[in-house]
Amino acid sequence: NAGVTQTPKFQVLKTGQSMTLQCAQDMNHEYMSWYRQDPGMGLRLIHYSVGAGITDQGEVPNGYNVSRSTTEDFPLRLLSAAPSQTSVYFCASRPLALRGETQYFGPGTRLLVL
């Protein structure tokens, strides 16, 4: 199993540009989530999904969209990038049968918005 994979590893955007961060998992996990981590800070939940077609907001959803058309993929879309969205983005997944605190994280995508 590859686990949780994220692409790209690093991206530079200009203010106002849009892009999609990709996340995929091959463990057939129902639950997937997106977090952002700013320098020296903990992780903040952006959006999550409990299955295909079901998504909900986390702590900091503004400026981000998600969709879940398959169990495997959970892309995160930045509609109009802003410098405040410069961060490292982590995707995570877990089976619904496990407790919420037990997640498997991807390697992250480092995003710089100029």
Partner 1 sequence: LAKTTQPISMDSYEGQEVNITCSHNNIATNDYITWYQQFPSQGPRFIIQGYKTKVTNEVASLFIPADRKSSTLSLPRVSLSDTAVYYCLVGDGDTGGFKTIFGAGTRLFVKA
Q: Which of the stretches 13-21, 33-41, 61-69, 71-79 binds partner 1 when contact is defined by CB under 8 A?
A: 33-41
Q: Which CB atom, from 10 or from 16, has the smaller least distance to partner 1?
A: 10
Site string for partner 1, 47-86 (x = CB under 8 A): -x-x-----x-xx---------------------------
Q: Which CB atom, from 31 or from 81, has the smaller least distance to partner 1?
A: 31
Q: Between the CA of residue 46 and those of 1, 2, 79, what are the distances in Å?
A: 26, 24, 14
Q: Give the footprint of partner 1 on this chain (CB under 8 A).
A: 4, 31, 33, 35, 40-45, 48, 50, 56, 58-59, 90, 92, 99-108
